[in-house]
Amino acid sequence: MPDGVFVEECETEAPVFHPMPPPTDDEVEALLLDVAQRVHAIFAKRGFFDDDASAAEVPGALEMLQQKAAMGQRSLALAPMQERTSPRGRRSAFVEGFSLHADLHLHANDREALERLLLYGARGPLSENRLRLLPDGRISYRIV
């Protein structure tokens, strides 16, 4: 997110930068809840949820997928999302397996920090260090 906006107040002078205040904890949590609900709606529209699943009876997504994998099921039928958040930190929020951290500020000329942030955002969903080829040709992925 940009730190502010440049406004051209007079055609003969250089634009003036008007900084924006950092987001509040409530704004971060509201944004994350909106994103989580939108992703949930996309999954629901594509049929990834059981119609009869009760949110109160279903564990977290990771635990449920682990249980399904142990039983040999390959379906991604998840429970409806609950509007429940975990305790949050400063400018960060956690909702149903989603997380958002908005307390990082990069200075305009800090190229190393920008590179670290971009590498973090571009990383794959799986860690290569946790993958292992088994003797029978299957692949093992260590979760913890």
Q: Torsion angle of alpha carbons 104, 106, 107, 110, nearest 10°?
A: 140
Range of the domain at 136: 24-141
Residue at 10 is within a domain: no
User: Can you spell out the DSSP letters for 46-94?
Assistant: TT-B-TT--TTT---HHHHHHHHHHTT-----BPPPP--B----TTEEE
Residue at 79 is within a domain: yes
Q: Which amino acid is located at 134 in the chain?
A: L
Number of domains in the chain: 1
Residue at 11 is within a domain: no
**Each residue of 34-85: pLDDT tens digit?**
998 998 888 888 887 765 554 444 445 556 556 656 655 444 444 444 544 4
Structure token digits, residue 62: 């990771």
- In angstroms, rounded to a whole number, what is the distance separating the alpha carbons of residues 141 and 126? 9
Residue at 5 is within a domain: no
Q: Which residue has the higher pLDDT, 92 or 2?
A: 92
Phi, psi for residue 4 in degrees, rounded to 5? 170, -165
Closest by CA position to 48, among listed 21, 16, 81, 96? 81
Residue at 8 is within a domain: no
pTM over 0.75: no
Residue at 76 is within a domain: yes
The pLDDT assigned to 112 comes to: 94
